[in-house]
Amino acid sequence: MALPSSESSSSVLRLTFLAVLVITLFLALFARLWFLQVLAGDRYVELADSNRLRTVVTEAPRGAILAADGEELVRNRPALAISADRQALLNAAGDPVDEEAERVIERLAELLELEVEEVIERLGSQRRSPFRPVPVALDVTPEVVFAVQEQRELFPGVVPETLPVRQYPQGTLAAHLVGYIGEISQDELLRPEFTDYRAGDLVGRMGLEQSYEADLRGTAGERVLVVNARGDVLDVQRDREPVQGNDLVTTLDLDLQEATEQLLEDGILASRSIRRDDGQLLPSTAGSAVVLDARTGAVLAMASYPSFDPREFVGGVSVEYFESLLDEESEDPLVNRVIAGGYPPGSVFKTATGAAMIEGGHITPRGQVECTPAFELGGNTFRNWNRGVNEGMMDLSDAMMRSCDTYFYALAFDQWLAEENAEEPDEVVIRVAERFGFGQRTGVDLPGELGGRVPGRQWRQDYWSERRDTYCRQAEEASPGSRAEELMTDLCRFGGAWRGGDAVNTSIGQGDVISTPLQVAASYQAIANDGMLLRPHLGKEVRAPDGTLVRDIEPEELGHIGVDDQTLAVLREGLERTVMHPRGTGQSAFAGFPLDQIPVAGKTGTAELRPKVPYAWFAGYAPADDPEIVVVVNVEQGGGGSQTAAPIVRNIMAHHFGVVLADEAEFEAGDEILD
Partner 1 sequence: MATDYGQDRRQRQQRAQVQSRWMEVYDPVRHLDPVLVLTALALTLIGLVAIYSAKLVALSAQGLPPTTYVSRQLLALAIGVVVMVVVAVVDYRVVRVYAPVLYVVSVVLLGLVLSPLGTAFGGAQRWIVIGGFQLQPSELAKLAVLVVVAALLHESEGTPHAGVVLASLVLTLLPAGLVFLQPDLGTSMVFVWSTAVLFLLGGVQARYLIGLTLSGIVGVIVALQTELIEDYQLLRLTAFLDAGDASAAQTAAFQTRQSLIAVGSGQFAGKGLFEGTQTSLSYVPENHTDFIFTVIAEEFGFLGGSLVLGLLLVLVWRGLRIAILAKDTFGTLVAGGIVAILTLQVFVNVGMTIGIMPVTGLPLPFISYGGTSLIVWFAMIGLLLNIHMRRF
Reading phi first (left if > 0) and then psi (alpha if -120 to 50, else beta), residue 467 is in alpha
Residue closer to partner 1 by CB (options 26, 494) is: 26
Residue closer to partner 1 by CB (options 25, 190) is: 25
Q: How far is the CB of 556 from partner 1 (least distance, A)?
A: 53
Reading phi first (left if > 0) and then psi (alpha if -120 to 50, else beta), residue 533 is in beta
Residue closer to partner 1 by CB (options 157, 310) is: 157
Under 8 Å between Cβ of 322 and 670:
no
- C-alpha 406, offset from chain centre: 37
Maximum Cα interatomic distance, the chain, rounded to a whole number of Å: 142
Residue closer to partner 1 by CB (options 36, 417) is: 36
Q: How far is the CB of 239 from partner 1 (least distance, A)?
A: 19
**Range 240-275 burial, b when 16+ CB lie within 10 A, else e:** eebebbbbbbbbbbbebbbbbbebbbbbbebbbebe
Helices (H) and strands (E) counted in the chain, each on its own, are 23, 23
Residue closer to partner 1 by CB (options 10, 280) is: 10
- The amino acid that residue 3 corresponds to is L
Rounded Cα distance, 649 and 641, in Å = 10
Under 8 Å between Cβ of 535 and 444:
yes
Q: How far is the CB of 65 from partner 1 (least distance, A)?
A: 43
Residue closer to partner 1 by CB (options 88, 478) is: 88
Rounded Cα distance, 638 and 634, in Å = 8
Under 8 Å between Cβ of 350 and 399:
yes
Q: How far is the CB of 238 from partner 1 (least distance, A)?
A: 16
The site for partner 1 (CB under 8 A) is made up of 1-3, 7, 10-12, 14-15, 17-19, 21-23, 25-26, 28-30, 32-34, 36-38, 40-45, 47-49, 51-52, 91-92, 226-230, 232, 234
Under 8 Å between Cβ of 246 and 540:
no
DSSP symbol at 348: G
Residue closer to partner 1 by CB (options 48, 326) is: 48
Residue closer to partner 1 by CB (options 92, 319) is: 92
- Phi/psi at 236 (nearest 5 deg)? -110, 115
Residue closer to partner 1 by CB (options 11, 219) is: 11
The CA-based angle 547-549-554, given to 5 degrees, is 140
- Cis peptide bond prior to 306, omega within 30° of 0: yes
Burial of 72 (0-12, 13-18, 19+ CB in 10 A): middle
Residue closer to partner 1 by CB (options 14, 551) is: 14
DSSP H helices in 139-189: 142-150, 175-178, 186-189
Residue closer to partner 1 by CB (options 15, 422) is: 15
Q: How far is the CB of 93 from partner 1 (least distance, A)?
A: 9
Residue closer to partner 1 by CB (options 29, 660) is: 29
Helix (H, G, I), strand (E, B) or coil at 298: strand
Residue closer to partner 1 by CB (options 1, 662) is: 1
Q: How far is the CB of 55 from partner 1 (least distance, A)?
A: 16
Q: How far is the CB of 20 from partner 1 (least distance, A)?
A: 11
Q: How far is the CB of 34 from partner 1 (least distance, A)?
A: 6
Q: How far is the CB of 4 from partner 1 (least distance, A)?
A: 8
CA-based nearest residue to 266, from 670, 616, 666: 666
Q: How far is the CB of 120 from partner 1 (least distance, A)?
A: 18
Cα separation of the two ends of the chain:
128
- Phi/psi at 157 (nearest 5 deg)? 85, -5
Q: How far is the CB of 179 from partner 1 (least distance, A)?
A: 40
DSSP H helices in 422-556: 428-435, 457-477, 483-494, 500-507, 517-528
**Dihedral (CA of 295, 297, 298, 303) sign:** positive
Looking only at the bridges linking them, the beta strands covering 65-66 and 247-250 are parallel
Q: How far is the CB of 52 from partner 1 (least distance, A)?
A: 5
Residue closer to partner 1 by CB (options 33, 669) is: 33
Q: How far is the CB of 17 from partner 1 (least distance, A)?
A: 7
Q: How far is the CB of 228 from partner 1 (least distance, A)?
A: 4
**Range 446-483 burial, b when 16+ CB lie within 10 A, else e:** bbebbebbbbbbebbeeebeeeeeebbebbeebeeeee
